[in-house]
Amino acid sequence: MSAWNGVYEPSVTFDAWIAELDEDVIQGRYGYEPGEFSVFPEVWRPMFDQGLTPEDAFRRALDAAAEGRAEREQERAENWRRIQAEDAALIAAHRAVGSASLSGEMK
């Protein structure tokens, strides 16, 4: 088996692996409809070359997607906390300026 060079080179073994990934794993075990989840051979070839089963390769892809989602959610939550803190500081500063100007007017 040659190393992956970034170009899809069909082989009977790899084609069978892709068919199993698409039909048995993605559609069969995970319930996707045909064509709902596109399987691009060039994306999956490195996992085939690493000796992963189609099931393991798809689980790895799902885990990576879940990890990416979790990281994005964490970034959003941190950003929301930052926005809330900055807004609170601006409101407090505005109220302090407003109180000071009102106090000055009442003298």
Residue 87's contacts (CB-CB under 8 Å, 6 or more residues apart) are: none
pLDDT band at 11 (very low <50, low <70, confident <90, very high): confident
Task: Average the pLDDT over 1-18 and give the result.
Answer: 70
Rounded Cα distance, 90 and 68, in Å:
33
Q: What is the pLDDT of residues 36-74, one digit of tens each?
A: 988 999 999 999 999 999 999 999 999 998 998 888 999
**Tokens (6 digits) for 47:** 């996992």
The separation between the first and the last C-alpha atoms of the chain, rounded to the nearest angstrom, is 89
- The helix-helix angle for 54-106 and 41-49 (nearest 10°) equals 110
pLDDT band at 76 (very low <50, low <70, confident <90, very high): very high
- Tell whether the model's pLDDT for residue 102 goes beyond 60: no
Per DSSP, helices labelled H in the chain are: 12-19, 41-49, 54-106
- Tell whether the model's pLDDT for residue 96 goes beyond 90: no
Give residue 95's Cα distance to chain centre. Answer: 41
Residue 26's contacts (CB-CB under 8 Å, 6 or more residues apart) are: 32, 37, 39, 58
Could you state, in order of their start, the residue ranges of all structural domains in the chain? Answer: 12-106
